[in-house]
Structure 1
Amino acid sequence: MIKEIDLAGVYLSPMLGYLVVALLLTGVLRFVLGRIGAYRWIWHPALFDVSMAVIILTALVALTM
């Protein structure tokens, strides 16, 4: 069951936790893709990065349900 995150008496949405983890994973994946040169074959890198973050966020939420 998903519960709110209690931060010093302030309740935050659990989506915030998922988003932080998804952004960290996206950052790691961006670094790896940049190091291997994968961005040479990607037409629009910014759109790809946003799509990758949304896919990772969706996968995290789906795996924890």
Structure 2
Amino acid sequence: MIRELGLAGIYFPALLIWALAAMVLNLILRRLLRAIGFYRLVWHRALFDFALFVILLGGVRALAIYWMPS
């Protein structure tokens, strides 16, 4: 079940918090991949970046569910 997370009396959907965490990880990972030249091997960069974000979002969600059970 997706919960809401409260911060100073304001409730945010858990998916929003997870997506922000995944976005930060995605930005860091994209810079690292660009620095090592990995994108030369990628056919469609935007599609790869989106798939990477979805994978990271799933991982962040799985970790959040594992560490904070309801």
Normalising by structure 1, report the TM-score: 0.86
Paired residues for 1:3-14 under 5 Å: 3-7=3-7, 9-14=9-14
CA distance in 1 between partners of 2:62 and 2:5 (Å): 19
CA distance in 2 between partners of 1:2 and 1:48 (Å): 27
SS across alignment from 2:42: coil
* Alignment gaps of 5+ in structure 1: none
Q: What residue number does 2:55 align with?
A: 55
Q: What residue number does 1:28 align with?
A: 28
Q: What residue number does 1:43 align with?
A: 43
Q: Equivalent pairs: percent with the same residue? A: 43
Matched positions, count: 65
CA distance in 2 between partners of 1:8 and 1:21 (Å): 19
Structure 1 residues 64 and 6, CA gap change in structure 2 (3 angstroms): closer
* Alignment gaps of 5+ in structure 2: 66-70
CA distance in 2 between partners of 1:54 and 1:47 (Å): 11
Shift of 1:9: 3.9
Q: What residue number does 2:68 align with?
A: none
